[in-house]
Amino acid sequence: MAKDERDLLDLLKFELKFLEDGGYGRSPHTPWRQPLVFEDSLSCLNFGDPTRPHPCSECLLMDFVPAELKDQPSPCRLIPLTPKGETPDYFYRCGTQLELEEALAGWLRNQVSRIEEERDQTARTPQAKASSNRLDELHRRQWLALAGNLYLLASRHRDRDDYGVAYALYGRALETAQKVAVSDDDLALVARIRNDQEAVSRILRHEVNDSTRTESEELQAVGR
């Protein structure tokens, strides 16, 4: 149980950081609508894929969906965020984006605090100290999906010649994938991310060298 909670804690912390960094600002890919919390997050298993190939039952956030609503098309919209039971779906219909993000931030902070307290208590037991740190298959797929989403976003920035952001995102994708890579397919993803990051790094170094040479040539011209 401690293993499951720790992985969920990482996901919730990522969601909170994503929210605080303005990740739910208006997307250039869907400017006609407000962003959807959880569904438009990089941690979503189906991020950027309208075909939704992954069932929502594989998502760790299903732990927070009421049992009677888990079979709904977008169950993460039905997670109660406030003591009154207000959900993302409620705010989409009756609230504002600001009210939704404030409720989400409060809910995430409360869940992070709760799980950290529970983990600290559980860690004191002999059973927890002897437990394995190996991720189970569900959580491994969740983090691989996150790595894949970061990789996809990095590639989009590279295609737009935004190499600095692309390099940073490739780094985050690589770090995430390396934590859980086990199978040959996982290792192939790691290699693909690393190769693309190195390619972007070469482009950045080339740009720096070109800039340095240009400044040197200008100084030489002035000296003449």
Is the CA virtual torsion 129, 64, 14, 106 positive or negative? negative
Which pair of structure tokens corresponds to residue 155? 């590639």
- The lowest-confidence range among 39-43, 96-100, 105-109 is 39-43
Measured CA to CA, the distance from residue 37 to residue 15 in angstroms comes to 9
By percentage, how much of the chain surpasses pLDDT 90?
Answer: 38
**Residue 102 CA: distances (Å) to CA of 29, 39, 97, 150:** 24, 17, 9, 25
Q: Which residue has the higher pLDDT, 49 or 92?
A: 92
Asked if 190 and 177 count as a contact pair (C-beta separation under 8 A), the reply is: yes
pLDDT value, residue 3: 37
Alpha helices in 44-162 (DSSP H): 88-94, 97-122, 126-130, 137-159
Residue pair 178/187 in contact (Cβ under 8 Å)? The answer is: no
Q: What is the pLDDT of residue 145?
A: 86
Rounded to two decimals, the pTM is 0.62
State the chain's mean pLDDT as an integer: 82
> Which amino acid is located at 190 in the chain?
V
Least confident of 83-87, 96-100, 134-138, 207-211: 134-138
Distances (CA, A) of 64 to 57, 87, 104, 132: 12, 11, 13, 25
Least confident of 45-59, 72-86, 193-207, 208-222: 208-222
Position 28 pLDDT exceeds 70: no
Average pLDDT of the segment spanning 69-88: 95
137-223 to CATH, choices 1.10.3470, 1.20.58, 3.40.50, 1.10.10: 1.20.58
In whole angstroms, give the CA distance from residue 145 to residue 152. Answer: 10
Average pLDDT (101-115) is 95
Q: Which residue has the higher pLDDT, 111 or 5?
A: 111
**Which is more confidently placed, 1 or 149?**
149
Domain boundaries, the chain: 2-130, 137-223
Average pLDDT of 34-47? Answer: 87
Over the stretch 152-195, which tens digit does the pLDDT of each residue have? 889 988 998 989 888 989 998 998 889 888 888 889 999 999 99
Instruction: Label residue 212 by pLDDT band (50, 70, 90).
Output: low
Average pLDDT on 6-28 reads 81
Q: How far apart are CA 166 and CA 196, in angstroms?
A: 9
Predicted confidence (pLDDT) at residue 218 exceeds the cutoff of 90: no
